[in-house]
């Protein structure tokens, strides 16, 4: 036994180095945001989480034996959390205990079985959700390395059965069957559309697969597939809808809102009804997005971590604004765009949307200011300057906004409305960066507004 200590010490030393390297690389990063719909164990109590994890091990063993129901995704709610009354969890528990007991009982007489059981357990343990929850509850990719131990164990077991002369034949047949299953499965991986179409049949309670299928159909042919996209996204959203907002996902309701809006454009006679449906589901997505962002902020504060930039799906707010605009709810559209801009002020789409929304609301001055902000972000591109010039032409006191320098038109800083609007734009944009929790950029904008234009920026 003492002769093995150098080997054990070498392994222990490598683990210490690994832990140190991991901390050095990841220690300064923000606290990772847990995603409940990827792994419901994250929200379960200790007993429920471990019982569910053991059930998943049982499902993994079954999948290794009979790889028929393959799927690329088993997110919420395909694998249900296990309670005391879940018989399959207890069956899995018995199978796992039996395998471990057999391996230990035959330790001296069958070192290969003991080694294979250990190999399988060690390879599976980091992704088994037993020691700590990870980013997924169950995934076939977690079985790549453990399947090596399984294959060796299967061949070893067959070779020890009576009539061992038939072992080669049986192993050959199994190899052909497994290889055939692998070959057939490859066709599903041709595209997102083929993969989602196949897997949604195997795992119909996975919200992400319905979402994936809806997107693939829409990308293939939005006009022809719009009804099927809506149908699949509605299935995805129906799976998530009962969850509390902080545990749900904003993506299915966001894309469902997108598809409803696309249907509105394709069905002009009923467009208002479709836009109303789009707005309703997008408001649900906003509730989820902001609840998740608050929960993440609370988690960071609880762990003493510095706040990160604001989280959220920016396109949600742009699509929400689009629905509001088409329903004549202009101030709500402006509010949605301003919030979305605060997630990433460098996204030019926000400023274009704000210009349209302010103009629709009759606030031509703020429409022009929105374009001035865009110019500050995109470096005063010619197309943006042209749009600003057109905006000022609609403003009564905006005739002096541009002067011609040779063949080009430039903002006239001596025009009172331009000077005022530049200061307003820089101040508003600085606030957007502050909202996005990018204080360095916000301070730089405020300082530049003072030094360049003499603005009184707070």
Kindly write down the DSSP assignment for every residue of 100-162, as one continuous string.
HHHHHHTTTT-HHHHHHHHHHHHHHGGGSSSSS--S-S--GGGGTTHHHHHHHHHHHHHHHSS
Query: 205-242 pLDDT, tens per residue?
Result: 999 999 999 999 999 999 999 999 999 999 999 999 99
Query: 390-434 pLDDT, tens per residue?
Result: 998 898 888 888 887 777 778 888 888 888 888 899 999 999 999
Residues 224 and 353 in one domain: yes
Q: With bands split at pLDDT 50, 70 and 90, how would you rate the model's confidence at 163?
A: low
Residues 222 and 137 in one domain: no
Domain boundary (172, 189, 206) is at 189
Q: Give yes or no for a contact between 380 and 386, defined as CB atoms under 8 angstroms apart.
A: no
Residues 125 and 266 in one domain: no
Q: With bands split at pLDDT 50, 70 and 90, how would you rate the model's confidence at 458?
A: low
**Angle at CA of residue 396, ends 395 and 401, nearest 5°:** 65
264, part of any domain:
yes
Residues 71 and 12 in one domain: no
391, part of any domain:
no
158, part of any domain:
yes
359, part of any domain:
yes
- What is the largest distance, in Å, between two alpha-carbon atoms of the chain? 99
Residues 145 and 221 in one domain: no
Residues 312 and 185 in one domain: no
Q: How many domains is the chain partitioned into structurally?
A: 3
Region 366-377 average pLDDT: 93
Range of the domain at 124: 34-189
442, part of any domain:
no
Query: 65-85 pLDDT, tens per residue?
Result: 999 999 999 999 999 999 888
9, part of any domain:
yes
Distances (CA, A) of 331 to 53, 257, 261, 335: 48, 19, 19, 6
Residues 200 and 261 in one domain: yes
Residues 205 and 353 in one domain: yes
Residues 275 and 304 in one domain: yes
Query: 85-120 pLDDT, tens per residue?
Result: 899 999 999 999 999 999 999 888 888 999 999 999
Q: Give yes or no for a contact between 192 and 216, defined as CB atoms under 8 angstroms apart.
A: yes
Would the pLDDT of 1 be above 60? no
Domain boundary (383, 403, 420) is at 383
CA-CA distance, 344 to 74, in Å (whole number)?
31
428, part of any domain:
no
CATH of the domain at 220: 1.25.40.10
Residues 149 and 208 in one domain: no
Domain boundary (344, 365, 383) is at 383
Q: What one-character-per-residue DSSP string does 303-352 give?
A: TTPPP-S--S-HHHHHHHHHHHHHTT-HHHHHHHHHHHHTT-TT-HHHHH
413, part of any domain:
no
CA-CA distance, 341 to 354, in Å (whole number)?
9
What percentage of the chain exceeds 70 in pLDDT? Answer: 98
Residues 131 and 262 in one domain: no
Residues 98 and 235 in one domain: no
Question: What average pLDDT does the chain have?
Answer: 91
């Amino acid at each position: 036994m003492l002769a093995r200590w150098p080997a054990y010490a070498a392994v222990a030393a490598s683990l210490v180095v690994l832990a140190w390297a991991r901390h050095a690389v990841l220690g300064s990063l923000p606290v990772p945001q847990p995603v409940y719909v990827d792994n419901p164990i994250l929200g379960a109590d200790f007993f429920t989480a471990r019982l569910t994890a053991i059930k998943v091990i049982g499902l993994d063993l079954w999948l290794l034996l009979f790889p028929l129901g393959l799927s690329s995704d088993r997110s919420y709610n395909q694998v249900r959390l296990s309670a005391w009354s879940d018989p399959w969890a207890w069956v899995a528990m018995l199978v796992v205990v039996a395998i471990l007991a057999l391996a230990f009982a035959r330790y001296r007489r069958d070192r290969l079985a003991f080694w294979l059981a250990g190999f399988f357990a060690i390879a599976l343990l980091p992704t088994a959700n037993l020691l700590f929850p990870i980013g997924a509850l169950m995934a076939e990719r977690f079985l790549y390395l453990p399947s090596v131990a399984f294959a060796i164990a299967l061949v070893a077991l067959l070779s020890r059965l009576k009539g061992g002369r038939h072992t080669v034949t049986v192993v050959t047949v199994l190899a052909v069957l497994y290889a055939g299953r692998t070959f057939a499965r490859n066709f599903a991986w041709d595209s997102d559309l083929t993969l989602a179409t196949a897997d949604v049949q195997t795992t119909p309670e996975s919200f992400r697969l319905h979402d994936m299928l809806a997107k693939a159909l829409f990308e293939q042919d939005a006009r022809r597939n719009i009804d099927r996209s809506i149908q699949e996204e509605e299935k995805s959203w129906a799976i998530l809808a009962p969850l509390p907002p902080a545990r749900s996902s904003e993506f299915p309701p966001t894309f469902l809102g997108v598809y409803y809006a696309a249907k509105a454009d394709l069905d002009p006679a009923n467009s208002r009804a479709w836009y109303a449906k789009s707005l309703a589901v997008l408001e649900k997505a906003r509730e989820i997005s902001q609840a998740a962002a608050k929960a993440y902020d609370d988690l960071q504060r609880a762990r003493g971590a510095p706040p990160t930039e604001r989280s959220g799906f920016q396109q949600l707010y742009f699509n929400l604004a689009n629905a509001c605009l088409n329903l004549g709810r202009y101030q709500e559209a402006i509010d949605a765009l301003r919030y979305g801009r605060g997630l990433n002020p460098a996204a030019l789409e926000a400023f274009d949307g704000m210009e349209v929304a302010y103009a629709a609301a009759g606030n031509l001055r703020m429409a022009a200011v929105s374009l001035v902000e865009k110019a500050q972000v995109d470096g005063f591109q010619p197309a943006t300057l042209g749009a600003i010039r057109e905006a000022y032409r609609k403003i009564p006191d905006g005739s002096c906004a541009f002067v011609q320098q040779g063949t080009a038109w430039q903002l006239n800083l001596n025009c009172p409305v331009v000077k005022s609007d530049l200061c307003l734009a820089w101040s508003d944009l600085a606030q957007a960066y502050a909202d996005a929790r990018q204080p360095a950029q916000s301070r730089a904008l405020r300082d530049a507004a003072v030094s360049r234009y003499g603005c009184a920026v707070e």
